Each structure stands twice: as structure tokens, then as C-alpha cells.
Amino acid sequence: MYLLIFLKFMIKNLINIFFFFIYFIPLFITILLSVAFFTLMERKELASMQRRRGPNVVGIYGSLQAIADGFKLLNKETTIPLYSNYLIFMLAPLFTFILSIFCWAFLPININIVLVDINIGLLLFFAFSSLGVYGIIVSGWSSNSKYAFLGALRSSAQFISYEISMGLIIIPIILYAGTANIISIVEAQNDLYYVKPFFHLFILFLVSALAETNRIPFDLPEAESELVSGYNVEYSSIGFTFFFLAEYSNIILMSCIITCIFFGGWVEIFYFKFFYMDGVFWFCIKFLFLMFVFVWIRGTLPRYRYDQLMMLGWKVILPVSFGFVFISIYIYMILL
């Protein structure tokens, strides 16, 4: 009797694992292609801002430049520092990349296009995304390089500082929507995008997302002028490629989660109804605009000093986020 129950349980879970990988493999390929063409878009956009041509040799108008760069990185020689911790040094970039890919499981592209749909999906999304800092810390420590270790310390301080603010910023959204399910939050914006009543939270979240993804003006962990690329200075070939893919995957991921939380995801509000486009089309338009904003900020703003970065996080964004949380709770209690 118990043996039959156990076998039935195992078969059911094996089927679920099989279907998980069936859905995950196309998602994995899509993410890799998205990262490749996002780097191409970034280089073209920066070239346009700086009045130059950008990639224009490989493929039509440089369309295959990102793929050529990927093959070039993979063909480079893998170098390992003599006094490094070999096993941890090799596993750290893989761990960071896997975590960045795993967070996509909680992100819905449409109401029917999501791998994991649970009631606390938004909380789990931020919980798993915050684990990526461990890969960066371990990579800097295992390299046995003072520059890589200093970059890892900077990165860990920056991640922790702005991760707290991002967690506080989403509390009023969860209270207003009445759920932490990402699909339910998107569907709650059927008549009004949250960016309008929560525009202040959108600005704070965008600044925190820039710091979380190490983008200019908050790219202190990878500051080339003083740290020579920071925590990944000792990596080459496949290790550097994993860090590169993880960073740009997180940028696309943050653009998508901002689209879901503040811009209604795949929901089209009333004055767009006459287009009769599919929800995935509107989702792509919104998150492509946010990716453009990420690159736009990179092309226009200078880098902060590290003390300014910490002061902005702990003395400005964190107290303001706390204030908005208390105000939201007070309003929520009055409405109840």
C-alpha cells in the first residue's frame, strides 16, 4: 500500500520535473538571445547619443555583432590565479548565472506564460534575486586578489543597502493590491497603472534597481578607473561570460518586474483598446522602453563616489521608503 503511494508520488513529481524542463529550455534560450540583442541595442543607443556609428560590420547593420562577441569570449583562454581556491573560483560565476535565470520562473509574461504561479511570487522573486550577492562575494574572496576582494566588498554593501529599500518599496503595492501574487497585481491595474498613484515609489524603485544591477551611475563594484573591473578582474572566457550574462539578464529582469508592478504588464488600459493587440505585445513595448531608460541613464549621468552612493541609500532612499510604508499602513487601516 505505502509502496504504491510512494511510486505514485515519484511518478507524479517526475512528470512535473519533465514539464518544468520542457518549459525552461525555451525560456533559457530566449533569455540568452535577449541578452545578446540587448547588448547590441545598448551599443547602438550609446553610439547614437555620442554621434558615432557603433557596431556596423558583422551582419546587416551590425545585427550579429553580439553573437560574434559571445563566440569570441568563449574562445578565450581560461586563466586561473595560482593561489586561488580553484573549485569555488570556478563555481561562483555559475552560481550567479543560475540564480539570475531561476528568478525568471516567477515572472509572468502573460496570464498563461509563467513557470511558477504562487501567492507569494513577488516575495520569492526578491528573495532569490538577493541571493546573487553570495556569488559575487565568493568570487572576490576565492580569487585571492585584493582588487577583486575590494570590488566584492563594495558590491555586497551596495546590494544589501538597496535590497532593503526595494523590499520596503513594494510593501505599499502589496497592501494596495491585496496580494503578493504578480499576476493578481498586474490584473489589478486593469483601469489604472500603479505608476500614476505611486509615481514616487516608481522613482525610488528605479534608482534602487539601477544600484542593484550595478549600472551607471552606481557601477562602483566594477569601477574601471580604480578597481580594474572589480570582483571579476581575475575571470576570463566562460567565467567572465557567466558574470556578463547574469548582469544583463538581471537588467532585463528588473525592467520586466517594473513593467509588471507599475505599468500593468500585459494589461492595456482603456485608451489603447482600439489597437486590439495581444497582451505580450504591450508587455514587450513597455519593458523595451524601460531598457531604453537604463541605457539612456548610462549615456548621460556620471558615476557617483562611493560615499555618495552609501549616503543616498541609507540617508535618503531608506528613510523615505520607511515613511511611505508607515503612511500606506495608516491609510490602509483607515480604509478598513
State in Å, rounded, how far the first CA of the chain is from the last one: 51
pLDDT at 159 > cutoff 80: yes
Amino acid present at 112: N
**How far apart (Å, rounded) are the C-alpha atoms in residues 129 and 115?**
16
- Report pLDDT for 41: 84
Average pLDDT over residues 65-82: 80
Q: Are the C-beta atoms of residues 253 and 100 closer than 8 Å to each other?
A: yes
**pLDDT confidence of 2, banded at 50, 70, 90?**
very low
Average pLDDT over residues 22-30: 72
pLDDT tens for residues 207-264? 888 888 888 777 766 665 555 667 777 787 888 888 888 888 888 888 888 988 888 8
Closest CA to 201 of 252, 251, 166: 166
Per-residue exposure over 128-154, b if at least 16 CB sit within 10 Å of its own CB, e if not: ebbebbebbbbbbbbbebebbbbbbbb
* Domain range summary for the chain, segments of one domain joined by +: 1-75, 83-335
